[in-house]
Structure 1
Amino acid sequence: MRNWKFAMASTILGSALILGACGGTEESGDTGSETEETGSDTAGEEEAVVEGSVIGDGSSTVAPILEGIVEEYAGAQPDVQVTVGVSGTGGGFEKFIQGETDFSNASRPIKEEEAAALEEAGIEYTEFLLAYDGLSVVVNQENDFVDNLTVEQLKKLWVEDGTTKMWSDIDPEWPDEEIVFYAPGTASGTYDYFNEVILEEEDIVSSATLSEDDNTLVQGIQGSPNSIGFFGYAYYIANQDTLKLVPIEGIEPNTETIESGEYAPLSRPLFVYAKNSAISENEAAYDFMQYTIENAGAMAEAVGYVALNEEDYEAGLADLEALKE
């Protein structure tokens, strides 16, 4: 499924493939079609054709990485059908536990109860780290008074306390206007993470509009002058011309602050969990997961997240290879 979220990623990776092909043609020089045909035959021998299907689901935050990779993978292995749903981290794990999927995308680590349910279902799995994200707090672009929030103010904003929340409640110098809230749905790993580090397990403000679709949140904030919301950094990057990013404790999320952990406590890892039996028994699942790990760094950076160190991806590939033995 191609849309605006992945246009930048597809352009970058697609250009790299095109440039690589052009470079090969130039090196052929005047040797003509005979050389090109030989090169084509060699490439065909080196790249094994894989057939089959792979099914995944899970986090909307991880979706920009995975759906971008799916699009590029279709060009490399057109005979493999890869389907990726976006039910949220919790919804994805539910399907994973039911045995409906080969992998599950997550914007938080798996919970103890989810791991226990998988064990009871007899499903063994392996966790792969893909990238890092900085959960981003944004307001409407017309907002000219919120230039920073503390963690304490964030909690005061978002915890349900039985009152109608006004901006002046947070800072007396701010307007006496009712705040409009937009947040990820309760099945989202983004919601879970925010609930843990900001709300500290208290109820989220009851007036908030909740949705697992981050695009719905973006559109709501764009259309409401007194709005505030939060979602993954890639969704802010894709809409930065129409949203205002709010620093937390004076720190903005960016590549450097997310990778270093300086953007605390809202920096977080992004994962994919793969079913071990799918990797060992389904050649298409193994090949797609290998392609995912090999390309996750480039795709993460292209869509607005932060790549891991190369050693981390190599460790992931080693873990994947071990599942086939």
Structure 2
Amino acid sequence: MSKKNINRSVVTFVAGVTLAATLASCSGSDTKPSTPSATSPAATTTTAAKEPAKEPAKAPSNLSGNITIDGSNTVAPISKAVAEDFAKSNPGVKVPVGSSGTGGGFKKFCSGDIDISGASRPIKAKEAEDCKAKNVDFVELPVAVDGLTIIVNKENTWAKCLTVPELKTLWSPDSEGKVTTWDQVRPEFPKETIALFGRGADSGTFDYFTEAVNGKSKAIRKDYQPTEDSNIIVKGVQGGKGASGFLGVAYFEENAKTLNAVEVDGGKGCVAPTTDNITSGKYSPLSRPLFIYVSKKALARPEVKAYIDFYLTSTKLVKEVGYVNLPADALTKVVARFKAENVGSTFMDAPAGVSVSELMAKDLK
């Protein structure tokens, strides 16, 4: 899964150019004060107040080492953004972030090959058994909430809202080779040829979507275009009037000018994948938590503990990347679980659409 790329270096560059221009404009003794714009504060005749003294930059820490992360590339952009900010005060710690998919990440994690596994779905019972067999105890930490978004081509003016049964008509294994035009999904829709794009079988997004829509993980028609790269889904749906696909909300928001998001009726009316609806669980059954799983053995290393502590307090980065922050009560429980290093899962085998706060209150298993 490739993720939304936060081009933070561009922001830094622009800020640098702006600062340079400002210094240059102030360098001459005959320079006249500029006239304030309509959006700037009104000019005054009094001497400008001095800026408050800035806090001195924190000295770099003495921490060092390598922290290995792999797994979901839905989660990877958050982990990369956190790693980038973490490195500013911890230059001796290297945090490479891979993105081999949720399933691929758990294989490496449960073999003891990596410290942290990103996941866009909860760990499965078989994966937990594999971890146990290798003596890999893990701490399960939700870090954000995502809304799986149904996207259609910008010229699709008919599929503004779909019910879960209609989504199943589109994506069910029984529809393979049979449901090929939109009027078969709903009679009043046009007879436009359907082209479907979605995540591949190694993706946690795929597992969650198929379970939520088709009632069984990995159950899906085979005549769609699978990929581990959500950008390919975007391009595919952009390329045909009758095209549709599913991906994380961050990818839709990044391409909202060229795609439409379909509202989903989970039984209580049409609901759009907005921040409020995703956080509250109203966008059901397609709102889901995103996770990192941390090896308890790795947590014994100070650099790993410092990174996770930094991760759980970097809520602004979650929003920057395009995801939704955990509700405050849920985040408090996540931080408490991390500090206590409580191992096990409360999300494994949980039905789609249950809130993070509710699942955090359950007993670990």
Q: Bin the TM-score by the shorter chain.
A: 0.7 to 0.9
Give yes or no for the alignment of 1:197 onto 2:223. Answer: no
> 1:165-216: per-residue Cα shift (whole Å, max 9, x none)?
2111112222223211111111111111111111112731211111121112
User: CA distance change for structure 1 residues 268 and 95 in 2, over 3 Å: closer, same or farther?
Assistant: same
Q: Contact 1:8–1:303 (CA<8 Å) still a contact in 2?
A: no
Q: Contact 1:6–1:64 (CA<8 Å) still a contact in 2?
A: yes
**How far apart are 1:288 and its partner, in Å?**
1.3
User: CA distance change for structure 1 residues 200 and 4 in 2, over 3 Å: closer, same or farther?
Assistant: closer
Question: What corresponds to 1:180 in structure 2?
Answer: 195
Give yes or no for the alignment of 1:283 onto 2:330. Answer: no
Moved more, 74-83 or 143-152: 74-83
For the residue of structure 2 that corresponds to 1:241, the secondary structure is: coil
**How far apart are 1:6 and its partner, in Å?**
1.2
- Within the candidate set 90, 100, 119, 1:106 is matched to 119
> 1:230-279: per-residue Cα shift (whole Å, max 9, x none)?
11111111111111000001110111111111111111111100000011
User: CA distance change for structure 1 residues 172 and 316 in 2, over 3 Å: closer, same or farther?
Assistant: closer
1:113-262 map, 5 Å? 113-161=126-174, 162-164=176-178, 165-201=180-216, 203-249=219-265, 250-262=270-282
CA–CA distance in 1 between the matches of 2:108 and 2:312? 22
**How far apart are 1:9 and its partner, in Å?**
11
**How far apart are 1:8 and its partner, in Å?**
7.0
**How far apart are 1:303 and its partner, in Å?**
2.2
For the residue of structure 1 that corresponds to 2:264, the secondary structure is: coil
CA–CA distance in 1 between the matches of 2:246 and 2:8? 22
CA–CA distance in 1 between the matches of 2:126 and 2:213? 22
Question: What corresponds to 2:331 in structure 1?
Answer: 313
User: CA distance change for structure 1 residues 303 and 220 in 2, over 3 Å: closer, same or farther?
Assistant: same
TM-score by length of 2: 0.76
Give yes or no for the alignment of 1:7 onto 2:23. Answer: no
Alignment coverage as a number of residue pairs: 300
TM-score by length of 1: 0.85
Moved more, 3-12 or 262-271: 3-12
When the two chains are superposed, the root-mean-square deviation of aligned CA atoms in Å is 2.7
Question: What corresponds to 2:96 in structure 1?
Answer: 83
User: CA distance change for structure 1 residues 210 and 143 in 2, over 3 Å: closer, same or farther?
Assistant: same
CA–CA distance in 2 between the matches of 1:11 and 1:307? 22
CA–CA distance in 1 between the matches of 2:158 and 2:236? 19
Q: Contact 1:10–1:72 (CA<8 Å) still a contact in 2?
A: no
Structure with higher Rg: it is 2
Q: Contact 2:4–2:322 (CA<8 Å) still a contact in 1?
A: no
Which has a greater percent of helix? Answer: 1
Q: Contact 2:318–2:324 (CA<8 Å) still a contact in 1?
A: yes
For the residue of structure 2 that corresponds to 1:84, the secondary structure is: coil
**% identity of equivalent residues:** 36
Q: Contact 2:4–2:251 (CA<8 Å) still a contact in 1?
A: no
CA–CA distance in 1 between the matches of 2:192 and 2:332? 51
Letter in 1 for 2:221: V
Higher relative contact order (CA 8 A, sep 6+): 1
Question: What corresponds to 2:359 in structure 1?
Answer: none
For the residue of structure 1 that corresponds to 2:282, the secondary structure is: coil
CA–CA distance in 1 between the matches of 2:154 and 2:84? 32
> 1:265-310: per-residue Cα shift (whole Å, max 9, x none)?
1111111000000111x22222211111110x21222222211234
Question: What corresponds to 1:27 in structure 2?
Answer: 52
Letter in 2 for 1:98: S
Q: Which runs of 5+ in 1 are unaligned?
A: 16-24, 30-35
Question: What corresponds to 1:56 in structure 2?
Answer: 69
CA–CA distance in 2 between the matches of 1:254 and 1:72? 27
**How far apart are 1:72 and its partner, in Å?**
1.9
Letter in 2 for 1:200: G
Q: Contact 1:9–1:68 (CA<8 Å) still a contact in 2?
A: no
CA–CA distance in 2 between the matches of 1:73 and 1:116? 32
**How far apart are 1:49 and its partner, in Å?**
2.6
Q: Contact 2:298–2:304 (CA<8 Å) still a contact in 1?
A: yes
> 1:107-151: per-residue Cα shift (whole Å, max 9, x none)?
111111111110011100000110111110000111121111000
CA–CA distance in 1 between the matches of 2:118 and 2:3? 19
